[in-house]
Amino acid sequence: MASSMSLRHCSTNPSPGFVCRLHGHSKLGHAAPSLPEQLLIGRRQATAATAVAAALHAMEAISGGSSVASALEFRFTAPEQTPEEADAVVKIHARELVRIKALIDSQSWREAQIALRDSSSYLKQDLYTIIQAKPGSQRPQLRKLYAHLFNDVSRLDYAARDKDASRVQECFDNIVATLNEIFVLI
């Protein structure tokens, strides 16, 4: 259903010279003030302008125009990993996660947290890719185990922050048991 939806003034947009506000009635029931017809743009034009602006900001950030971009890892926003690649490295990343046992035993809490976060992020991506490639009938059980695994990873992280050795050990044991269940199914 094509409507004559136009965009007018938008105060949240930081770009000078670009104005947008939905044409028609406002949510409060007040009539929107009229602007000259040449300032009205269509929804597609506004979407295209927004996409171009976002692309330009991203290019600026990537090219070093911004110090914020150096902290971002774009790999996680659009993974290029195939199920075969994930299958090849999932056990390696699982072993890296289990290797934090030595840090837990030595009560090196901060180092354990750092190692946990590093290894679990790769494992999470691998398992997600593998689960998505499985037939629909197998996914619910794998997703449940996936959620249980990474909930325990988060709990272990918090327990390590609190330096609670018994809770850390309990979470670690749960992680190992869940990993074993997942590997039986995949």
Residue 73 predicted with pLDDT over 50: no
Quote the CA–CA distance of 61 and 72 in Å, as a whole number.
10
Name the pLDDT band for 101 (thresholds 50, 70, 90).
very high
- pLDDT confidence of residue 152: 95
Distance in angstroms between the alpha carbons of the first and the last residue of the chain: 46
How does pLDDT run across 129-146, given as a tens digit for each residue? 899 888 899 999 999 999
- pLDDT confidence of residue 82: 85
Quote the CA–CA distance of 54 and 65 in Å, as a whole number.
14
- pLDDT confidence of residue 100: 93
- pLDDT confidence of residue 27: 46
Query: What burial class does residue 173 get, using C-beta atoms within 10 Å of its C-beta: 0-12 exposed, 13-18 middle, 19+ buried?
Result: exposed
Residue 106 predicted with pLDDT over 90: yes
Residue 76 predicted with pLDDT over 50: no
For range 46-74, the mean pLDDT: 61
Residue that has been written with the tokens 């809490």 in this structure: 109
Q: What average pLDDT is seen over the chain?
A: 76
State the CB neighbour count (10 A cutoff) for residue 58.
14
- pLDDT confidence of residue 87: 85
Quote the CA–CA distance of 98 and 178 in Å, as a whole number.
12
